[in-house]
């Protein structure tokens, strides 16, 4: 169910309290720009430093503001299993569309401990769950064996936000993850170009076409798509020409980001031509 792009929201504060108006405005701006979903109270929103009451308020606000115009993922991960269970149940009660569960940070559990942690949470909710693997920040890596085990044992663990930075890991997950009904396991690697992220879908299908949308500050949205219809090259060239012409009208920081996107798109075209595959799509 998690397709397209989900923006990880910051948590705005004013005078020591959540700035409700700013948070609602932030969500509205994402919806207006065509985002697929938002992530409230993720680590970008500083979830480890928020109180239970603040996390509850932010998830409630996100659901109420989105009004089903985009999906709402609630960051309910914790290094304490019982806290993660409680927050995930709360998010489900508040109407969130799914839960993002980061690996337990600092504790450095074993792979068996990770499996039991995530399975306990999954068993306590009917929400679809997206695992979040970011070993550089958590100090622990959710190994492919563990991801595969969880995908087989927990039907509501349907995605993974893979931020290990390893291209090889994405390929390994693609090869090993089961193609189970209702499940799509997505891998993510980040290409450093200001705030640009490139997503390579990992759902076990060579015909599934997905992409990631990056919304710039001014709300501009430009699309690169390798459509799989036999017109990939022509489609890509049209967008590249349009993108390059438009880039000259932007200030330097955005122009730099656009140039990086063009480079990535060309590389994708080269890979696609070499492999004959119809994916991935990049939507920015």
Annotated catalytic residue, options 67, 106, 132, 198:
132
d(CA 152, CA 165): 24
Q: Is 157:182 a contact under the CB 8 Å cutoff?
A: no
Q: Tokens standing for 47?
A: 């979830």
- Does the active-site annotation cover 198? no
CB-based burial label for 238 (10 Å; 0-12, 13-18, 19+)? exposed
Task: Count Cβ atoms within 10 A of the Cβ of residue 41 and give its class: 0-12 exposed, 13-18 middle, 19 or more buried.
Answer: buried
Q: Which of 93, 108, 161, 198 is catalytic?
A: 161
Q: Is 91 exposed, middle or buried (0-12, 13-18, 19+ CB in 10 A)?
A: buried
Does residue 239 carry a catalytic annotation?
A: no
Q: Evaluate the omega torsion of the peptide bond into residue 139 and state whether it is cis, within 30 degrees of 0.
A: no
> What DSSP string runs through 161-206?
EE-S--HHHHHHHHHHS---TT----EEE---STT--EEE--SS-S
Instruction: From 264, 259, 136, 249, select the one nearest 197 (Cα to Cα).
Output: 264
Beta pairing partners, 129: 99, 157
Structure tokens at 246: 């438009």
Cβ–Cβ < 8 Å for 55, 20: no
The catalytic residues are 132, 161
């Amino acid at each position: 169910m998690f397709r397209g792009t989900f923006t990880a929201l910051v948590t705005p504060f004013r005078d020591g309290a959540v700035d409700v108006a700013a948070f609602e405005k932030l969500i509205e701006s994402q919806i207006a720009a065509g985002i697929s979903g938002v992530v409230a109270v993720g680590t970008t929103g500083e979830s480890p430093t928020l109180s239970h009451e603040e996390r509850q308020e932010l998830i409630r606000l996100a659901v109420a503001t989105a009004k089903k115009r985009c999906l709402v993922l609630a960051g309910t991960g914790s290094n304490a299993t019982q806290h993660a269970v409680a927050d995930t149940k709360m998010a489900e009660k508040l109407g969130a569309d799914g839960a993002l569960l980061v690996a337990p940070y600092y504790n450095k559990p074993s792979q068996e401990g990770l499996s039991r942690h995530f399975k306990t949470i999954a068993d306590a909710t009917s929400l679809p769950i997206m695992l979040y693997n970011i070993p550089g920040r958590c100090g622990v890596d959710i190994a492919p064996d563990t991801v595969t085990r969880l995908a087989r044992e927990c039907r509501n663990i349907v995605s993974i936000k893979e931020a290990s930075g390893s291209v090889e890991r994405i390929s390994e997950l693609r090869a090993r993850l089961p193609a189970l009904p209702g499940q799509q396991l997505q891998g993510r690697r980040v290409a450093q170009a200001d705030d640009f992220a490139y997503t390579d879908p990992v759902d076990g299908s060579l015909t599934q076409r997905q992409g990631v949308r990056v919304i710039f500050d001014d709300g501009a949205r430009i699309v690169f798509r390798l459509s799989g219809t036999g017109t990939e090259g022509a489609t890509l060239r049209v967008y590249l020409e349009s993108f390059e012409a438009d880039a000259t009208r932007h200030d330097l920081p955005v122009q730099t980001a656009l140039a990086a996107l063009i480079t990535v798109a060309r590389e994708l075209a080269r890979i696609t031509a070499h492999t004959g595959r119809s994916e991935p799509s990049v939507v920015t």
